[in-house]
Amino acid sequence: MKNKVVIITGGSSGIGRACAFAFGKAGCRVVITGRDATKLNETAQELALRNIECLPVVGDVSLEADVKFMVEETVRKFERIDILINNAGISMRALFEDLDLNVIWKVMDINFWGTVYATKYALPYIIQSKGSIIGISSIAGYRGLPARTGYSASKFAMQGFLEALRTELLPKKVHVLVACPGFTASNIRNTALAANGNTQGESPRDEGKMMTAEAVADQILEATIHRKRDLVMTFQGKFTVFLNKWLPGLADKLVYNHMKKEKDSPFK
């Protein structure tokens, strides 16, 4: 990892922020992006205090021009890109029958198109360095979650895109990793969109009982070093993927009952 250049979208909070510290401590030069300039600069300052070289770039991954600028600034500063971590993401929670369709547009714009834009513009440099493209997906990318139709769709789309891309890039020795954390303590549930498109504010789950963002980042770093193809985290996550593959009917019932128990569940 020494002196490799890593771009992390959504790098000012949650898993992205934790990845910035993990990859930085491993020797990488770090580029973090996000929409909140204040949070981005605070994170960059904290990284600098750890002697981690960091370039913060304000931008919205759902806007192609912003992503193009992010890549250009990275190359201008460091003259290369070795690793792209497509982490920027947003969730939603509402029954599809109650959902404003603009919510799905917004989730897809950030989670799927953000990955497509960043990968497209960073790809020539990653091919040159025989580097890594990483998608931070979710168990929702393997198993559709009720009341998360838009979120699940975006993660299924991301995983299909990266799987096809991995196959295309086999001759060019580019590493593509799909990393799927289980429920992770972060702000993604606080910023999740409700049926009307407003943020739900309070997390419906006990964040204290979840995997930490730092633990997730450490596993992603190890998987990147060893150039793994897939990374599914937590026993619950692995069990869900296994059950959905081999006993999908049972998985439907178990997932429904589990999600129905959430605080303020939208299920009637």
List the catalytic residues: 151
Using left for φ > 0, alpha for ψ between -120 and 50, and beta otherwise, residue 74 falls in alpha
Is 202 within 8 Å of 210 (Cβ atoms)?
no
CA distance 106 to 62: 8
Instruction: Describe the chain by its helix, strand, coil percentages, rounded to 5.
Output: 50, 15, 35
Q: What DSSP state is assigned to residue 28?
A: -
Is 187 within 8 Å of 210 (Cβ atoms)?
no
Coil, strand, or helix at residue 88? coil
